Amino acid sequence: MVKQEKSLTMSVLMTPDMANFSGHVHGGSLLKLLDQVAYSCAAKYCKQYVVTAALDQVFFKQQVNVGELVTFYAHVNYVGHSSMEVGVKVVAENLRTDDKRHTTSCYFTMVAMDDTGKPTPVPRLEVETDDEKRYYAEALLRKQMRQENLHKNRILAIELTEEKF
C-alpha cells in the first residue's frame, strides 16, 4: 500500500524585503508563505490542483525578526469530500543563539478542483498515529465551529444588507 503524503515542512530565511515599517517581518509576507505551504501540503496529499476556501483566525502571538529562519510544519488533519483541513505550525529560529519560538498556528481549508473548476473528491484520510487521531478530533471540532460561524455570518450579512444608506 502506498503511504499517504500528509505532512510537509518548509524553511524560509526572513530577509529585509519582508520587513514592515517597524523592521519586523510583515504579517502579509507570512500569510503568503502560509498559503503556499498549505497549498503544497494539500496538493501533494490529493495530487490535484487546490484552492484556499478558508483560513481560520490567525493570531500573530509573537513578532518574527528579519534574519530568523522560519519553519512551517504543515499536516493534513482532516478530509471531507473535496475539502482538507491543513494545520500549519510556525517556528521562528534565531540562527545565532539556536533559540526557537512557536509564533503561530493556523488552519486552512483547501478544496480540490477538477479541470473544469469544480470541487472534486479527495482520497480518504488514513488516520494512523495517536497524534493523527488527536489532530482529526480537533479538526472535527473546528469544522463545527466554522459551520456555526458561517451560519452567524449569513444572518449578519442579511442584517447588513437591510441597512439603509
Strand-strand pairing, 69-79 and 49-55: unpaired
* Rg value, the chain, Cα: 18
CA distances in angstroms from 7 to 34, 76, 88, 124, 158, listed in the order given:
14, 7, 10, 15, 39
**From the list 31, 58, 80, 127, which residue makes contact with ligand COA (rule: CB under 6 A)?**
80
- By the rule CB under 6 A, 83 interacts with ligand COA: yes
Q: How far apart are alpha carbons 123 and 82 in whole angstroms?
A: 9
| Binding window for ligand COA (CB under 6 A); candidates: 1-9, 17-25, 79-87, 95-103 | 79-87
Q: Minimum Å distance from CB 132 to ligand COA? A: 18
**From the list 10, 54, 55, 69, which residue makes contact with ligand COA (rule: CB under 6 A)?**
54
Q: How far apart are alpha carbons 90 and 71 in whole angstroms?
A: 6
- By the rule CB under 6 A, 111 interacts with ligand COA: yes
- By the rule CB under 6 A, 81 interacts with ligand COA: yes
Contacts to ligand COA by CB under 6 A: 51-54, 80-83, 109, 111, 119, 146, 150
